[in-house]
Amino acid sequence: MSHAMTFGEQASSDDKMWAMFAHLSSFVLPFFGSLLLYAMHKDKPYISYHAAQSLGFQVLLWVAGAVISVVTVVTCGVGSVLYFALVPAYFLPIWSAYVAYSGEWKGYPMISQLGK
């Protein structure tokens, strides 16, 4: 009798692939790709964990962009330099995709507890 995978257990190669796609979907279908993968595979903890991580990170980036937009308007454009602080964050989905495909239960540094 097989048991359901729990947090920390070894993922199958298919689970690793779908978890990787959850992170890379942020470049193709922001929000919707991760949300769709989460909904389709919510019974698979490894995939749903990584899809939740990806979705949480995308929401975090959206909120940060919105805050910077408000600051930019208030400062008559001077605040737009803050967008440069977000540039490194756009490389994190690539790193997270690699980590997910490696079979690790690691999330994004700022939201790693999401989905556990």
Tens of pLDDT along 8-39?
A: 678 999 999 999 999 999 999 999 999 999 99
In a domain, 106, yes or no: no
If one counts the domains in the chain, the total is: 1
Question: Has residue 3 been placed in a domain?
Answer: no
Structural domain includes residue 43: yes
pLDDT of residue 116: 59
Crossing angle for the helix pair 92-101 and 45-74, nearest 10 degrees? 170
**Counting Cβ atoms within 10 Å, is residue 58 exposed (0-12), middle (13-18) or buried (19+)?**
buried
- The neighbour count for residue 31, using CB atoms within 10 Å, is 14
| Confidence category of residue 114, pLDDT binned at 50, 70, 90 | low
Half-sphere exposure for 112 (CA within 13 Å, toward CB): 11
Instruction: Give the range of the structural domain holding residue 68, as residue numbers without chain letter.
Output: 13-100
Within a domain: 39: yes
DSSP 29: S
- Domain annotation covers residue 6: no
Question: Does 93 reside within a domain?
Answer: yes
Question: Up-side HSE of residue 63: CA atoms within 13 Å toward CB?
Answer: 6
Residue 48 belongs to a domain: yes
